[in-house]
A and B are shown apart, each in its own frame.
Chain A
Amino acid sequence: MAAVKADQLFKRYKKVQALNGVSLEVGEGEIFGIIGPDGAGKTTLFRILTTLILADEGTASVNGFDVVKQYRDIRECVGYMPGRFSLYQDLTVEENLNFFATVFRTTVAENYDLIKDIYIQIEPFKHRKAGALSGGMKQKLALCCALIHKPTVLFLDEPTTGVDPVSRKEFWNMLKRLKKQGIAILVSTPYMDEASLCDRIALIQEGKFLKTDTPQGIVSEFGTTLWSVKSNQMSKLLNDLRQFEAVETCFAFGDTHHITFKKEPPTEQELNEYLHLKGHKYVYIRPIEANVEDCFMRLSGKTLQS
């Protein structure tokens, strides 16, 4: 049985079509990433699946329970960490955790094993009010509270937004340990580099999935050759590449530019000569493997030129 299943979900808020026919299936113990920018529909999808709002059209189930008819059963077995910090700011770390355990008719002691690795890190501050915690500690407390009733499916809505790269990596290591316990995890993120940490991902934009596959699957279907180009004048290089007739797309990517060519690509030598003529030195051109961000931009059809 699928942990989460959604079939052709639609949701509209006045003028905005937040979800425009989204379908997905998440297996037991799978980490499934929903990847896309703000406003793409990620939170709306999470709120429908956690039975907080109703879809206009389409059906969905969690652990086989229907999100409309059996919403009470779903609420018993899922953990949900919303994007905005939603714990009680005036309660201490310990009080928040006890409160959530009690609401689910269990105790912290009973499921301590599940949260131990995470809770240890915030235990020194257990008498501090949740509102006075730093961002990273709030995030860990929220995860503990979402886990304390031993859910079988975990919904994490942008748990790493605004979090620095080191803390993000630690957070993903926690998720991998939870996965080993058989918990299915549906997680959303705007950081494309986190895609490779998921078993499968869906790229979402304007309420639609552009593609659903394993990260390797997405990358392997880039569809054309991607080139990395560098020179001694990176800012000028961006403009010069865009003016080169055969270049289709050209984006800055950290310390290199990524380009694709139109149907008839030039030889490396032709491009090299053009760039030297434009005054570039130390020109470096090499075919590379696309990453998820390259794929997102290609699939979304957005180019800098448009």
Chain B
Amino acid sequence: MSQHQSITMPEDVVILATDLTKTYGDFTAVDHISFEVKKGEIFGFLGANGAGKTTAMRMLCGLSKSSSGQAWVAGFDINHQSEQIKKRIGYMSQRFALYEDLQVWENIRLYAGIYGVPEREIGPKTDALLHRLGFEREKNSLVKSLPLGWKQKLSFSVAIFHNPSIVFLDEPTGGVDPATRRQFWELIYQAADRGITVFVTTHYMDEAEYCDRVSIMVDGRIDALDSPGNLKKKFGAKNMDEVFHQLARGASRKG
């Protein structure tokens, strides 16, 4: 840990943010958010379009620096140790996933190499992964020939291939059919059971129910953070959709 920003973090905390803030000119995109995420937790990061989710997530991934406030991810300071952070996280979004013109195994090989998975482990791990997904027959297929649902599952598996401490998922299930969406969540559960922390954004409120804890951002702030059960109790709501509507309806920033 670097000398200037070192703190003692409890061992089971993988993300710690204190008053994390990002401003662009006089616009405050992320406004003093503080929270922590525990090891192996599935953490739902919700909010309306324009609430500041993407900006916050970019800081946590070490892609941009905070204007004020601090955050530590996997034990490293986001402002001074972003390269160490990038090695220890996985990232997947709906838009950027895999290289369409590479074969399935080539994509795995490429990402494994980038993330420094030891050469001798890549082959056996690739076979094990394809077996687990039932994709053995597609090993040499071009990614662009796969159905969307398969691509999403493969893309997630590639994002956690190097066994990161945390995987960031940015709307991973957008546009996927209902059965595949559920299969995808079962992969998320399996990853969490292996101790990988999952940080996920979604616009499907039924998926918010599958998270251990959920935060809801409104106008750059985190206005609620708790387990889905407690949030529903607190807001007298019958589901997370109602909780979300109650909180986000009052937003002054509309996406």
Contact = CB atoms under 8 A, between A and B. Distances in A.
Contacts of B244: 164-166
A130 B251 CA distance: 22
A134 B49 contact: yes
B239 to A, nearest CB: 6
Contact of B248 (A36, A161, A165, A304): A165
A235 B190 CA distance: 10
B49 A135 contact: yes
Contacts of A270: none
Interface in B198-213: 203-206, 209-210
B254 A37 contact: no
A166 B51 CA distance: 12
Interface in B216-251: 228-229, 239-241, 244-245, 248-249, 251
A293 interface: yes
Given A254-B206, A255-B239, A166 B48 contact: yes
A164 B175 contact: no
Interface stretch (B68-76, B124-132, B178-186): B178-186
A134 B251 contact: no
A162 B50 CA distance: 12
Given A164-B248, A235-B189, A252-B210, A37 B50 contact: no
B206 A37 contact: no
A173 interface: no
A252 B177 contact: no
Chain A residues touching B, range: 35 or more
B171 interface: yes
A254 B209 contact: yes
A167 B48 contact: yes
Interface stretch (A55-63, A141-149, A295-303): A295-303
Interface in B147-187: 147-149, 171, 174-180, 182-183, 185-186
B255 interface: yes
Contact of B241 (A161, A165, A300): A165
A136 interface: yes
A37 B174 contact: no
Interface residues of B, number: 39
A50 interface: no
A39 interface: yes
B203 A302 contact: no
B49 A136 contact: yes
Nearest to B147: A39
Pick from B203, B241, B245 the residue with the most CB of A within 10 Å. B203
B228 A164 contact: no
Pick from A136, A137, A164, A303 the residue with the most CB of B within 10 Å. A164
A255 B149 CA distance: 23
Contacts of A136: 49-50, 254-255
A218 to B, nearest CB: 14
A136 B47 CA distance: 13
B220 to A, nearest CB: 14
A112 interface: no
A303 B179 contact: yes
Contacts of B149: 37
B46 to A, nearest CB: 8
Contact of B148 (A37, A163, A166, A302): A37
B203 A162 contact: yes
A192 B178 contact: yes
A300 B178 CA distance: 10
Contact of A300 (B48, B148, B179): B179
Given A36-B177, A162-B174, A165-B248, A251 B255 contact: no
Interface string B98-115: 000000000000000000
Contact of B175 (A38, A238, A252, A293): A38
Contacts of B229: 255
Contacts of A38: 148, 175-176
Contact of A251 (B177, B182, B254): B182
A233 to B, nearest CB: 12
Contacts of B241: 165
A235 B189 CA distance: 8
Contact of A164 (B179, B203, B240): B203
Given A37-B149, A37-B176, A255-B209, 5 more contacts: A37-B148, A161-B175, A163-B255, A166-B249, A254-B206
15 contacts: A37-B180, A135-B50, A162-B94, A162-B174, A164-B49, A165-B205, A165-B244, A167-B48, A167-B49, A252-B182, A253-B206, A254-B209, A254-B239, A303-B179, A304-B183
Interface of A: 36-40, 121, 134-137, 161-169, 190-192, 205, 235, 238, 251-255, 293, 296-297, 300, 302-304
